[in-house]
Structure 1
Amino acid sequence: MKYLEQLHEFADRWRKNFSDPDIDYHELIDFNFYNDCDRLGFKINSAGLVLKYGDAIFDYQALAKTVSKITDVSQLGSLIFARWQYFHNLENNQAQQILKFENRSWFLIALTQLWNLTVNDSRLFYGQIRQMELNSNLLGLNFQDNTQSKQVLNLDEYGNVQFTAYNYDVMAKTYTKAQKRNFKINQDTAQHILWMLANYFKQIHDEIVTTDVGNWQLELTNTAGQTFTFSGSLDSFGEEKSSWSKLLRIALKMPELAAFDGGKKPDKIDIICLDYHRNDKINFIKTANHKPFWLHYHEKLSIDRKTKTLTYFQKSSNGNRVEQKFRLNSSVTNLLDSLDPEALFASGGSNYFDRNNHYRFTISYQHAQPRVIKGDFTEDGLPDDYPDFVERLRHFINYHGQGGLLDHLYFGRPSKHHGDYIFCSVRLQKNSPSYYYLSDDKNISVGDCVVVPVGDDDHELHGIVTKVEYLRRKKGPFPIEKTKHIISNEGEWEGEW
């Protein structure tokens, strides 16, 4: 193998190692790196490097500004070797610093420049393109646990598309498949996309890889079966390549595609369907053959963007049946848009399936394939965010579903005639006497928390309304001129009194 090819292989292998989020720091500071550098003839001359490159020998931002000017591969190799030697000589607990973002970035910038300097024509794409595979790695500083972290997109010359997305569990350090789609696009469109990529990568282009924004890796395969690999950062693509990402999203009808620039738009949820089944054995009821009686119970709730409806249904084998349907236009749309399509029900739960007490949740998207979550209907078996989802749903249903017909706050409210004053009894402390205040709020009710003026200085205190009366001026419990007004009504009291 020629010397330039050896340098290129070194840069390619160690660049992948420094990009690996799961790598152990021992693998980066062991003697394999030393042996490679020694074999390639790299020399450590720290004093000379400091004089020539200044802060760039240890600061990744300074290196990024000057790395394009470093074209001597031996000098660049020595710079990399010297920086590595610093971490290798540290104690174990300090050597782990090599995994920090700023230190990984330094090595990735330097190794990528070495990779670019040593690439030769055999490393560039040639021939007639047949297919592509694009890996978009979204792991970065702003990554949230158990959200979509990697996308793999395959496209061939016939328009066949395979797309797979993965979530990443930080604690377990494992990828789990989140969704998979197989479909087909127009053949001419597919060939146009492939031709653009092949034509671009027939020439050498500088790509700087950093770790805080994620990165991409592209494999192009020609009709002879030869595969060529290229990589870069999700933010390092220029305007031309960003337009390719937009083209891919439009052609594939996938706004959620990270592509080359990471500028994906989240998919939207179209339908959420919650199914719950329970079988209860009733021992004190015997069937004709003296076996226990089983009560089969089923609940189903669906939220549908297209029909703008929320439907709740329950039935049991004893003939009981309840059904509620809400048609709420923008409210249903707003509810679905407020939910994170990737994170919803993405963590927790178990695969154990109790046939007598189980659930099946189905989330349908505008573009992606539906996602199904199922298990036993218990605290450990349900997704971690299910209680929060239920609380939001309960508030939504209560807000829209309870009118005045069954609400005592409406039918129990005294009538107000023209000329009446609203007198409210307000208790300031538990078990303390009530004091009369006036209010202009026609909706004020018993149980509301109000702010009232107290004492000669009218300092403000909170109190609870215990009684509301509509009375004529002459029948008031206290002279109007001497009765203070409620300052504000903060709604129903929710704390403990």
Structure 2
Amino acid sequence: MENDFGTHRPLEGKIKKVTLYSRKKRSTIFEQILELNDEKATIEIVNHNPPGMGDEYLFPNPAFDGVMGDLKDVYETFFEKSGRDDWKLVFVNEAGEEFETHGALQKSGRLSSISDMIRSMFKRNDLLVFDGNPDKVDRIELLFNRCLNFSNEEIVDSSERIVIDRASEAIVVQRNTFDRLKVRSNVQLAGIVSNFLDDVSVNAFSRVEGNPADVCENPAGEQNYLIRLETKFGRKKEVKGSFDKRGLPVDWPKFAEKLNYLLYYYGVAGEILNPFNYEKVLRCKDELIFCNVCFDDSGSAIMCLADEDQYEFGDCVYVEGIDEIGQIESVEYHKKEDAPVSLRKIRHILGKYDDF
């Protein structure tokens, strides 16, 4: 889309009428015709297969000047050189001169925003306008619960809830930590929330890889999630499972990264959006535990073998044969036959610094 007055000329004279033709291919091709003038607005729905079937709706036009301003903006800003004519916009001035432009349906961006405004003004959610009236995500609710095992006697629950809502143009973040600390943040982002949800497919969170049957329990404790998604046309989806790389939807990392980027600016990003949490892979029973450990003197990491699955990024550890303290950079799981280094020469982790 681009401005190209070499292809269609600027509007001239006082505009008396504007007509928008919108088409969309489904099982049949049908057309909607929206006609506005300074006295009334007419909406006609024409089915081309079979021909001759259609309805006409007459409305008083409460905001002709406002709508006209937006439609003029479309004319002056958007032009499709490829010849796509999913929509066609025709202006007629007092002298009877016609000015026409056309283009492809756009499911997001400026054309979609104008389409939503026109549907809202006429209270008609079925209008195709400039975007084809696609189904959109209206609300996403994210729930995260973590049950941490600090010792055999102490088990502590914490939870997070994030709601992204188009109607209120707000993102609400709630955290309950250790049953004592409760925090609630309400971030109002007019326009930004809608744009964010426009980029989320109604088919999001549909595919989960799933953990193998022989996966070990998370040694730190149980972590679960629940995702609820609602769309404009009333579709509802619910996805739940264990909060780890294979238990989450495959498109979760990309979604979480974008949401975290948005919320981090306002200081309300949470644990559910932390890649160190959602990128964690649960170990299978036949896999060994390999840790990449960094030492200050060398500045490089060496791979070590751990006997227990208790180490995480940032833990300070002792390694056999090395006097200085090392720090865990990452943890990997591999079967014995797929070991990334020789098991005969690998060093073993002796334990955490805090345990000595």
More strand by share: 2
| Both proteins in one fold, TM over 0.5 | no
TM-score for both structures, normalised by structure 2: 0.36
**Of the two structures, which has the highest relative contact order with CA contacts closer than 8 Å and spacing of 6 or more?**
2
Task: Return the structure number with greater helix share.
Answer: 1
Q: Which protein shows a greater Rg?
A: 1
